[in-house]
Every structure is written in C-alpha cells, then in structure tokens.
Structure 1
C-alpha cells in the first residue's frame, strides 16, 4: 500500500508486522499503567495489537487478568511497547525514520 498525504507510509506498522512474523514477545504498557506481556500475534494499521500467552505484570492489582490468555489492545490506549533488543535493528529503523522525515519535509515545500 503506497503512502499519500492522508495516509503516510506505514513505517511502524511494517516494523511491528515483522515482529508478528517472528513471533516476538513484547510488553505493552497501557495509559492506565497496566503492563501486559505476551507473544505478538497480530497488528493492524491502527497499531491495535493482538497478544497471546498474556500475563499481567501486576497480578495483585489486576487479579481478574490471571485467567486471560489472549487479548486485543486498542492502539489508542497504548503508552509504550517494550521490545527485546535482539528483535530491533536500530540502525535500519533510524534510517527508515530519517527517509520518511526527509520525504515529508520535501512534500511541504
């Protein structure tokens, strides 16, 4: 899917999609301070996440989540996504971000 002024290139969507293909484990921190850890099962263009083998990092505060195995996390409630450093090619990601920023600045001129 090519980008346009209304729909920019899905840089982070593509990045997370590669993590889905690897079956990477991630920790997602929500805006209510809840952290969920699990295997990244799916992601969509809105950065909604599906996790499997989910565990809540604070089971004393959220005991009702002990029985949750799979969950859907709406992208708008995500504060941070923590990744294993081995899953991230930092230089490649920085270069892609640089290119995207340069492309956007040239389109504004």
Structure 2
C-alpha cells in the first residue's frame, strides 16, 4: 500500500499554520487567542500613522485604515520608506497587506501603552 499524503483541510484559512487555528462551532477555522491580542491592540491604532515592514524588506508608511482578525492591514496615504530602492511604488496611495507577509509593524511612540500590553500579556499567559 502507498503511504497516505497530507491533505490540508478545505476550511483552512490561507496564511495560518495549522496549529494557529481552532475550529469554531460553524466548522470554520479561526485564529487562536494569541493573534486576537494583537488584533485588539491594532484596532486601537486605527487612524494613526504606522510603518509596516514586509518580509521582502519593503517598508511602507501610512495611516492605518483597518485590520482584521488575520492581521491583514489596510493603509491609506502610503509612501515607501526607501523610495530610491522601490521607485515603482511611488504612485501607490492606498494598499492592502496580507498579514502573512508582515515582518514588523512600527508603532507611533504615543500609541504604545506599556501597562495595557503588560496586563494583556499576563492574562494571555494565565489562559484567560
């Protein structure tokens, strides 16, 4: 007999590893609570300027328009940080960035409340 091959679930969300997903009552896979911590935090930054660095080294600065539970990001009034290296991106003003290609998100200094982050991290570590 031939060994069985791995077949990904038809309900699997793109960009999430299997261990990062959990099944809801409707059968759809959803991100785990660890991603929800970041989602909740980024929702508070809507309307503020952020810089998103992608895995291909492209860094885009813009106003955070929205973020979803998969950490996909929509930016408005965008500009590329290194315009000499990416001249083809000069005309882009609004963009959608898939969460799986994000390396870092640089936050505005006034947008970071360390106490809230510490409390949320402690709650997550305790499991609730």
Q: Is TM (by shorter chain) over 0.5?
A: yes
> Runs of 4+ in structure 1 displaced over 4 angstroms?
none
Give the corresponding residue for 2:108: 84
Mapped partners of 1:83, 1:19: distance in 2? 8
> What residue number does 1:27 align with?
51
Task: Determine which structure has the larger helix proportion and give its number.
Answer: 1
The 5 A counterparts of 1:50-65 are 50-65=74-89
1:54 CA drift (Å): 0.2
Name the CA distance, whole Å, in 2 between partners of 1:92 and 1:15: 9
Rg (Cα) greater in structure: 2
Equivalences, count:
98
Counterpart position of 1:41 = 65
TM-score scaled by structure 2? 0.73
Correspondence for 2:43: 17
TM-score, normalised on structure 1? 0.85
Give CA-to-partner distance per residue, 1:61-98, whole Å, 9 cap, x none: 11011000000111000000000121011111111011
Q: Alpha carbon RMSD of aligned pairs, Å?
A: 1.4
Higher normalized contact order (CA 8 Å, seq sep 6+, divided by chain length): 1
